[in-house]
Amino acid sequence: MEFIASEKAPKAVGPYSQATFTDGFMFLSGQIPLDPITGQIVEGDIEVQANRVLNNIKVVLAEKGMTLSNVVKATIFMKDLGDYKRVNTVYAQHFGEHKPARSTFQVAGLPLGAAVEIECIAKK
């Protein structure tokens, strides 16, 4: 197993890797909307936060030459499912015609007060 750490993505906020890679699969830890330079949650609405999360995911995937088209499963955690449609719009803009399996959950809280977190599994 290989531990993935992209310098272009925010550092993990705990004792875990941004992703692991094994047997052609990349398992990405949940990404929250951290600015990779400041390490702080980006300011803005749910669309701004969802865009930052997906951009963070893209740079982690790129470490193994992958893109969002390699994602086979995504899980979205949200503080408010009332934002579901807005997050879906941003998600669809990033994924285009590629539609991996997905689950979405409302949760009581997310690290550092984030409004959205996304984790995924990709196959090379």
pLDDT of residue 28: 98
Q: What percent of the chain has pLDDT over 70?
A: 100
**CATH entry, 2-123, from 3.30.1330.40, 3.20.20.70, 1.10.260.40, 3.40.50.1220:** 3.30.1330.40
Residue type, 19: A
pTM of the model: 0.96
* Cα–Cα dist 73/94, whole Å: 15
Contacts 24+ apart (CB under 8 A), 6-13: 6/59, 6/60, 6/62, 6/63, 8/36, 8/59, 8/62, 9/36, 9/56, 9/59, 9/60, 10/34, 10/35, 10/36, 10/39, 10/56, 11/39, 13/111, 13/112
pLDDT of residue 13: 83
pLDDT at 14 over 90: no
pLDDT at 78 over 90: yes
Contact 122, 18 (CB under 8 A): no
- Which DSSP letter does residue 85 get? H
32: helix, coil or strand? coil
Contact 95, 68 (CB under 8 A): yes
- Residues making up the chain, counted from first to last: 124
